[in-house]
Amino acid sequence: MTAPTLKIENLKLGFKNWAGVSNVLHGISLHIKKGERVALVGESGSGKSVTARIVLGMLQQLKTARISGSVEFEGINLETLKPASRHALRGTRMSMIFQDPTSSLNPVYTIFALFKEVLARAEPGITSERARQRAIEALADVAINEPERVLDSYSFQLSGGMNQRVMIAMALANNPALLLADEPGTALDVTVQAQTLKLMSELVEKHQTSVLFISHNLGVVREFADRVYVIYKGNIVEQGATAELFANPQHPYTRALLSAVPRITGGGIPDLDDDPGQFLAPLVAHPSYSEKERLA
Amino acid sequence: MSPLIRLLAKRLGTSVIVLIGVSLLIFAIARVIPGDPARIALGPNATTEAVAALRGKLHLDAPFLTQYGYFIADLFRGDLGLSLYTNRPVMADIAQFLPATLELVIVSGIMMVAIGLPLGILSARRRGSWVDHTVRLVTLLGVSAPAFVWAVVLMLCFSYFIKIFPIAGRISDTFSIPSVTGFLLVDTLLAGDIKAFGNAVWHVILPAFALALSGIGQAARLVRSNMVETYDKPYIEMAEAYGFPEKRIARRYALRPSLIPSLTIIGLDFAAMLGSAFLVEAVYAWPGLSRYGVAVILRKDLNAIVGTVLVISAVFLIVNLIVDLLVSILNPRIRLSQRAS
Ligand SMILES: Nc1ncnc2c1ncn2[C@@H]1O[C@H](COP(=O)(O)OP(=O)(O)O)[C@@H](O)[C@H]1O
Ligand SMILES: [Mg+2]
Half-sphere exposure of B3 (CA within 13 A, CB side): 16
Q: Is the CB of residue A215 below 6 angstroms from any atom belonging to ligand 1?
A: no
Per-residue pLDDT tens digits for B206-216: 999 999 999 99
Task: Using alpha carbons, list the distances in angstroms from residue B131 to A211, B137, B138, B158.
Answer: 40, 10, 11, 27
Is residue A65 over pLDDT 60?
yes
Query: Residue type at B240?
Result: E
Nearest CA to ligand 1 atom 24: A45
| Beta-carbon separation of B234 and A100 below 8 A | yes
Q: Note the maximum CA span of chain A.
A: 60
Q: Which residues of chain B does CATH 1.10.3720.10 include?
A: 97-298
Question: Does domain B97-298 correspond to CATH entry 1.10.3720.10?
Answer: yes
Sign of the Cα torsion A168, A170, A173, A178 reads negative
Close Cβ partners of A19 (under 8 Å, ≥ 6 residues apart): none
Q: What is the DSSP letter of B299?
A: T
Residues of A whose CB is below 8 A from B252: 109
> Does any ligand 1 atom lie closer than 6 A to the CB of residue A233?
no
Most confident range, picked from B122-136, B164-178, B325-339: B122-136
Contact (Cβ atoms closer than 8 angstroms) between residue B216 and residue B119: yes
Q: Which amino acid makes up residue B77?
A: R
Q: What share of chain A is helix, strand, coil (3-state, %, to 5)?
A: 40, 25, 30
Measured in Å, residue B324 CA sits from the centre of ligand 2 at 38
Contact B325, B8 (CB under 8 A): yes
pLDDT (tens digit per residue) in A231-261: 999 999 999 999 888 888 888 888 888 876 6
The continuous run of DSSP H or E covering A1 comes out as none
User: How far B242 CA lies from chain A's nearest CA (Å)?
Assistant: 4
Top mean pLDDT of A252-256, A259-263, B226-230, B307-311 is at B226-230
Least Cα distance to A223 among A246, A191, A249 occurs for A246
Between CA B185 and CA B189, with CA B187 as vertex, the angle to 5 degrees is: 75
With the most atoms of ligand 1 within 8 angstroms of its CB, the residue from A18, A21, A22, A24 to mutate is A24
Q: Per-residue pLDDT tens for B4-42?
A: 788 788 888 888 888 888 888 888 887 777 777 777 777
Residues 6 or more apart whose CB falls under 8 angstroms from that of A126 comprise: A116, A119, A120, A134
- Cβ atoms within 10 A of the Cβ of B124, count? 24
Summarize pLDDT for A90-102 with one digit per residue, the tens. Answer: 999 999 999 899 9
- A230's CB contacts (< 8 A; 6+ apart) are A41, A42, A236, A237, A238, A239, A245, A251, A253, A254, A257
Instruction: Name the residue facing A108 among B240, B244, B332 (closest C-beta).
Output: B332
User: Whole-angstrom Cα distance, residue A277 to residue B117?
Assistant: 54
A98 touching chain B per CB within 8 A? yes
| pLDDT on residue B16 | 87
Query: Which domains, ranges and CATH numbers included, belong to chain A?
Result: 6-102+177-295 (3.40.50.300)
DSSP structural state of residue B29: H
Q: Which of B129, B240, B255 to mutate to test the interface with A (most CBs of A within 10 A)?
A: B240
pTM score, whole prediction: 0.83
